[in-house]
Amino acid sequence: MKTQWAPTKLEGWGRYPRHSAWVARPERMKDVENALSERDGHPVLAYGLGRSYGDAALIKDGRVVLTQRLNRMLDFDPETGWLRVESGVSLKEIIDTFLPRGFFPPVVPGTQFVTVGGALGCNIHGKNHHVDGCWGDHVRRVELLVASGDIVICDREREPELFWATVGGMGMTGVILSLEVKLERVESPGILMESVRVNNLDEFFEVSADSADFTHTVSWVDCVKQGASMGRGIFMRGRHAPADVQTGASPLDALASFAQRILNVRDLESNLWLNKATIKLFNEAYFRKTPAGTTSSSVHYVPFFFPLDAVDNWNYLYGSRGFLQYQMVVPEKDAVREILEVISNSGMASFLAVIKEFGDRDHGGLSFPSRGTTLALDFPNFGTPLLDMMERLDDIVIASGGRVYLGKDARLSKAKFRQMYPEWEKWKAVRDEWDPNYIFQSELGRRLGLVGGAK
């Protein structure tokens, strides 16, 4: 059957920017091959569940292959945990199917609504990066539809350069059709968790250093506070619970229960909800609800790993203007302090802000995680003042030898990207070898000079 292309407008999770494109919804991997050959000369890009924030999965006036219907689980070895799936399978589908059998994905981000193809394209990280690395560390035998129309199997042993260019390659090496991922054995859906209230940035680093025995760590940070309280927050650390542990009523469970009663933020869309005053009130309440010191609890995995998934379409909380997330990693602690000072002095408060120390694994290329401290901050789209502030943050990140996360980005300049990702030319050489005519493109790739013949 000939590919049916339909016009539509697409956006990332931040709802900025938005672009028109022609989309197809293939049912089978063979349909994806047909779509590539029937693109009428237009560039092509795959689009999963739309959870990259900026323009990584957008292509203006191009051809977009929606992968949600490529959601078949193809094979599973219960002895080793290796699972072979099509690229449109979501982490939620894997968890729902395999957690009752004692398995869990090896790495999960802050939402379970991402596809395995998107997870590899962004080389996602989670709360356990300091122990288990990234998604790409647990993947083999990637089936990739490349520009020639051939299907290439790649991993560490087969076409390794193509494999590592695809890991974190933001979908610009081809369409991922399937992959194998090794699931982790777990005994229960519970998490043994400790919450530690930290009063400033120095305490965060002290608690983080004392938490190396925990497999999962992350901290919420209050970006409104200045002076001696700058960097205060709630440090959360945990590990998968043994079989005999029951999950109880923890602050995270209570918060998830409250959020579920909101149901769907799309019905409440407004530019008025989030401003400095409301964010300051929320931060004060959230900080005070956790007792001083250390609190131990056993919680269900959903509020621990995916607290925002309880609210449908929470991104609409930012209104029609959308929002931008700034996530960076810097090796120097002083740079984190400098970034927090710029933000707290700007008057542009971040509603959602998390901080974590990464481990040593760095895959190079366009892959984001590297040794240092990562800070992720969501800002309502304030327009030029916000973009100007992010330019200042870019300069601090570059001076520290850090980088921003391309899976969250919507506005980084080509010049600054090249300073943050010094291996970009090596990555592009591999990409261009497999796609010399720039069939696979994205708005992010065009903006950063990675596709389309840009120099």
pLDDT of residue 100: 97
Q: Are strands 82-86 and 44-47 parallel, antiparallel or unpaired?
A: unpaired
The Cα 62–Cα 148 span in angstroms is 18
Tell me, what DSSP letter sits at residue 241? P
Flag whether 140 is in a domain: no
pLDDT for res 254: 57
Q: Output the pLDDT for position 263.
A: 55
Number of domains in the chain: 1
The answer to the question of residue 135 being in a domain is no
pLDDT in tens, the chain (455 residues): 799 999 999 999 999 999 999 999 999 999 999 999 999 999 999 999 999 999 999 999 899 999 999 999 999 999 999 999 999 999 999 999 999 999 999 999 999 999 999 999 999 999 999 999 999 999 999 999 999 999 999 999 999 999 999 999 999 999 999 999 999 999 999 999 999 999 999 999 999 999 999 999 999 999 888 888 888 999 999 999 999 887 765 555 555 555 555 556 666 666 666 677 777 777 787 788 888 899 999 999 999 999 888 878 888 888 889 999 999 999 999 999 999 999 988 888 787 889 999 999 999 999 999 999 999 999 999 999 999 999 999 999 999 999 999 999 999 999 999 999 999 999 999 999 999 999 999 999 999 999 975 44
DSSP string, 380-423: E---HHHHHHHHHHHHHHHHHT-EE-TTT-S---HHHHHHH-TT
Nearest partner of 52 among 169, 170, 216, 199, judged by Cα = 170
The length of the chain in residues reads 455
Strand order in the sheet with 139-145: 73-76, 82-86, 175-182, 139-145, 151-154
Q: Assess if residue 84 is contained within a domain.
A: no
Tokens of 439: 């069939």
291: in domain: yes
Q: Which residue has the tokens 């008025």?
A: 272
Residue 369 lies in a domain: yes
For residues 130-166, one letter each, b for 16 or more C-beta atoms within 10 angstroms of the residue's C-beta and e for the rest, the string is: bbbbbbbbbbbbbbbbbbeeebbebbeeebebbbbbb
- Identify residue 148 by its one-letter amino acid code: S
Note the pLDDT of residue 265: 63
DSSP state letters, 271-316? SSS-SHHHHHHHHHHHHHHSPSSEEEEEEEHHHHH-GGGGSBTGGG
Residue type, 289: K
Single-letter amino acid code for the residue at 95: I
Which residue, among 225, 348, 343, has the nearest Cα to 284 in the 3D structure? 225
Structural tokens at position 68: 């949600």
Decide if 22 is inside a domain.
no
CATH number of domain containing 245 = 3.30.70.2520
Backbone angles phi, psi at 76, to 5 degrees: -150, 135
Task: Indicate whether 48 belongs to any domain.
Answer: no
- 288 C-beta neighbours (distance < 10 Å), count: 10
Q: What's the distance, Cα to Cα, between the start and end of the chain in Å?
A: 39
**What is the predicted pLDDT for the residue at 322?**
93
CA angle 52, 407, 218 (to 5 degrees): 95
Task: For the full predicted model, state whether its pTM sits above 0.85.
Answer: yes
How much is the pLDDT for 455?
45
Expressed as residue numbers, the domain containing 208 is 190-411
Q: Tell me whether residue 217 is in a domain.
A: yes
